[in-house]
Amino acid sequence: MSRQNILVYIKQLNRPVFTTSEIISLSGKSSSTITQSLDYLQKQGLIIKIHRGIWAEADSRVSAYSIIPFLTPRHRAYVSFVSALHLHGMIEQIPQVITLASTSHARTVHTKMGTFTIHQIAPRFFKGFDWYRGDGNFLIAQPEKALVDSLYLSAHKNKQFGFFPEISFPKSFSFARARKWVKCISIASVKLYVEKKLLELGSIY
């Protein structure tokens, strides 16, 4: 298959990030044929392999956040926990990894764009997120949900997400909204823990 044909299919997607599966679907060619063609384009410096089955055009400016939808193709994932708190300006320290919430199984994914840690949360608790700044290309937890997600995770993960030495709360932040998210937690002991931690933070700030 010619290099030009592959590039045409890539351009048809109208975005810099794409997957091997998408090109196979558009072209109707075999997996081995498309994989070989993409490998060739990579050697020519025209595309970059970000992760297994995920690519980007070499001349594009791709954010690490833009590849999130491709990391868990069968499950949605949204930026939450400390990464979301940082993007919302509530903590200054830049997290070394991008933390995601998903109903998919927990794991860490290392890519050329960065490292992503996917934390599994209950389907009933998988809510409270929207597109970044309303029209971005990745989903992010609302500030209140990001904080509650962190406390929720700290109840399961040896308290590692429950300590915020430099957190600040913007005027728009609502502890009342945060308490509503706590009510969505189905495990009584976890709900009690999160309620207590949230109360402590509210009394301090």
Closest CA to 95 of 84, 111, 83: 83
Q: Tens digit of pLDDT for each residue in 155-191?
A: 876 666 667 768 899 999 999 999 999 999 999 999 9
Q: Tens digit of pLDDT for each residue in 81-106?
A: 999 999 999 998 888 999 999 999 99
Q: Which residues does 91 contact at the CB level (< 8 Å), separation at least 6? A: 82, 85, 164, 166, 167, 168
* 133 band by pLDDT with thresholds 50, 70 and 90: confident
Domains and CATH numbers, the chain: 3-62 (1.10.10.10), 65-204 (no CATH)
The pTM score is 0.89
Question: What's the pLDDT score for residue 1?
Answer: 58
Closest CA to 151 of 171, 167, 132, 131: 167
- Cα dihedral 184, 190, 194, 195 sign: positive
Q: Tens digit of pLDDT for each residue in 41-68?
A: 999 999 999 999 999 999 888 899 999 9
Residue type, 15: R
Write the DSSP symbol of residue 4: H
CA distances (Å), origin 203, targets 25, 102, 162, 166, 200: 55, 30, 15, 15, 5
Quick check: 115 and 109 in contact, CB under 8 A?
yes
Work out the percent of the chain whose per-residue pLDDT is above 90: 79
Q: Tens digit of pLDDT for each residue in 105-125?
A: 999 999 999 999 999 999 999
